[in-house]
C-alpha cells in the first residue's frame, strides 16, 4: 500500500511504514523517532516535537560539554540507524525517518539555556530551515547519500538554527542591561 506524496521535487509512490516496521529492528525504532515518524501528516515536525523531552533532559546535564558529547554520539548512531531504516524501506530519506530531526533539534539548542521560550523558538527556526532548505542545507540534501546524507542536511539546519537562536538570545538579553 502506498500513498502519493511530493518527495523530493517529484511525485512517487512510497510505502507507508506501520508499527510492524517500527518494531522490526532497534534501528527502525530509533530512526522512526520512537514512532513519531509514523505520523500521517508532518512526520518531520512530529519527530522534532518528540525531541523536546530529550533536549530538555540533555539541557540539565552538567558540565555542559557533555551535551556536545551526547550530540556527537547521537550523530554517529544516527548515520547507522538512518541508513538501515532507509534500506529497510527501500527509499533514501523516507519522511518517516526522523532521527535526523531529533538530532537537529539537539544541535539547535546547544548554545542556549534550555527554557520553554528557547525550545519553542528553536523548534520554529529549525523546522523553517529544514523545510525551506536554504543553501547550504539544500546542497547537503541534494549531494550527500546514505546515512550520512540523511543526517547532514538536518545537522546543518540545526547549526544554522543554533546560531539564529543564540543571536536572538543575545539581543533579548541585551535590552535588560
User: Which of 1-10, 70-79, 87-96, 150-159 is the least confident region?
Assistant: 1-10
Question: Taking Cα atoms as reference points, which of 175, 45, 55 lies closest to residue 112?
Answer: 55
Do 106 and 73 touch, CB atoms closer than 8 A? no
| For residue 127, pLDDT beyond 80 | yes
| For residue 165, pLDDT beyond 80 | yes
| For residue 14, pLDDT beyond 80 | no
Express each pLDDT in 24-71 by its tens digit.
999 999 999 999 999 999 999 999 999 999 999 999 988 889 999 999
Domain spans, the chain: 41-174
User: Against a cut of 0.85, is the pTM above it?
Assistant: yes
Amino acid at each position: 500500500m502506498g500513498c502519493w506524496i511530493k518527495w523530493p521535487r517529484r511525485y512517487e509512490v512510497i510505502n507507508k511504514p506501520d508499527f510492524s516496521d517500527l518494531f522490526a529492528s532497534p534501528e527502525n525504532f530509533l530512526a522512526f523517532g520512537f514512532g513519531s515518524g509514523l505520523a500521517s501528516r508532518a512526520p518531520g515536525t512530529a519527530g522534532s516535537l518528540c525531541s523536546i523531552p530529550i533536549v530538555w533532559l540533555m539541557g540539565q546535564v552538567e558540565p555542559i560539554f557533555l551535551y556536545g558529547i551526547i550530540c556527537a554520539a547521537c550523530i554517529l548512531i544516527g548515520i547507522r540507524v538512518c541508513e538501515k531504516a532507509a534500506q529497510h524501506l527501500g527509499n533514501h530519506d523516507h519522511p518517516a525517518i526522523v532521527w535526523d530531526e531529533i538530532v537537529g533539534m539537539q544541535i539547535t539548542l546547544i548554545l542556549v539555556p534550555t527554557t520553554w521560550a528557547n525550545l519553542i523558538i528553536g523548534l520554529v527556526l529549525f523546522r523553517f530551515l529544514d523545510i525551506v532548505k536554504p543553501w547550504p542545507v539544500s546542497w547537503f540534501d541534494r549531494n550527500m547519500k546514505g546515512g550520512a546524507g540523511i543526517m547532514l542536511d538536518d545537522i546543518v539546519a540545526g547549526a544554522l538554527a543554533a546560531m539564529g537562536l543564540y543571536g536572538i538570545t543575545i539581543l533579548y538579553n541585551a535590552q535588560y542591561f
